[in-house]
A and B are shown apart, each in its own frame.
Chain A
């Protein structure tokens, strides 16, 4: 499963970091970082993160 975050619309609400901390986090400099590819076992939490994004910036591929 591939994860893409559209950084042109992300406003750093951080809801994905809350919903799926295994996948999304804040770097030292405050930017959002995430696993571009992740295991199928994380699908539920990645989907929860995509749902929770107020800007709907997270796209799951595959």
Chain B
């Protein structure tokens, strides 16, 4: 019998980890534990087409569930079960149903959960991470209803755009000076703020929510916004509590090296949103990357590591996945490659930020004069693909240098 590989988390990172481990170590005994009852499904549409579809009465999971290449009995599925704690010395994980699973290799693919606000006076507040969250939120989204979104990050902006399209009256409250500021930088974020306003969103930046009473939310400047539906979109918290006491660095996700091995235990690896790892394309700083492509890339990496160590050889130490994200807001496609958030300077390569939503716009982000990211706003996919290739070459040269 091959090694016992226990994967905690049965979303995209868990699924891809299982597939990659079985491809690299065909006789591995893989168990997938997931706290949701649903088999792995795709999350990005939840704030966009799925939310709109649910409001229109369509089923969600038929479209979202991943088609995968795992044979029926290739892995043991434990869905609807949470990991509670880990005994790294005995190499076992305790589950919420009382079960105890032993492992030779443990992969943390436990992802994130929404950060919650303390907001007494507003009992029903929504978040958006799971399909069940989306179903609950959709049931409250009636045309003409007043929606208040707390947090102007990507999820908040996408939900706001979807709600405007469905005929809700939408306000977004963002504590920073612009929406999506950390990811896109001040110039682009300011242009997108104008775009959201032009599309009908009541966007209030530099403002915090301080309380709620009588169906209204109170902001830090004392103003009030009436709200029938409140959505919290204020970021995420890594699900790592079940690893406490395992001797790992859990200060922001699971700190890993470039082989996805957790610092503190050579038997524990991490993949997906929860993994904090260094990327040779940028620098030695380990970061969590909440991009859709990262679960697949880190899963393959973790599987290579398990296969190599199982064969008694050291895995390669260089890991340089090119990040990429996209978003759809009011019909405008944002697509990025690299790490725009690391840039200290932007240059508009095509179009202009003043014509956002009317003309395609391509922006390059640079750090210390060198390209670190590319962003398309309504740009043609073919043009973006070319710039992506150029960016990857430039970043790879930086690594080589």
Write the residues of chain A forming the contact surface with B, with a CB cutoff of 8 angstroms: 9, 11-15, 17-18, 26, 30, 47, 51-52, 54-56, 59
Contact = CB atoms under 8 A, between A and B. Distances in A.
6 contacts: A13-B326, A17-B381, A30-B380, A54-B42, A55-B45, A56-B42
A19 B324 CA distance: 13
B44 A18 contact: no
Closest 10 A-B residue pairs measured CB to CB? Answer: A26-B382, A14-B381, A12-B381, A14-B385, A30-B380, A17-B385, A51-B296, A30-B382, A54-B292, A56-B42
Contact of B67 (A14, A30, A59): A59
A18 B292 CA distance: 15
Interface size class of B (residues with CB under 8 A): 20 to 34
A51 B324 CA distance: 15
Contacts of A59: 67
Contact of B381 (A9, A26, A47, A51): A26
Interface of B: 16, 42, 44-45, 63, 66-67, 69, 292-293, 296, 324, 326, 328, 333, 335, 380-382, 384-385, 388
B382 A56 contact: no
A15 B381 CA distance: 10
B22 to A, nearest CB: 13
Contact of A56 (B66, B296, B385): B66
Nearest to A51: B296
A20 B45 CA distance: 24
A52 B291 CA distance: 12
B320 to A, nearest CB: 15
Contacts of A12: 381
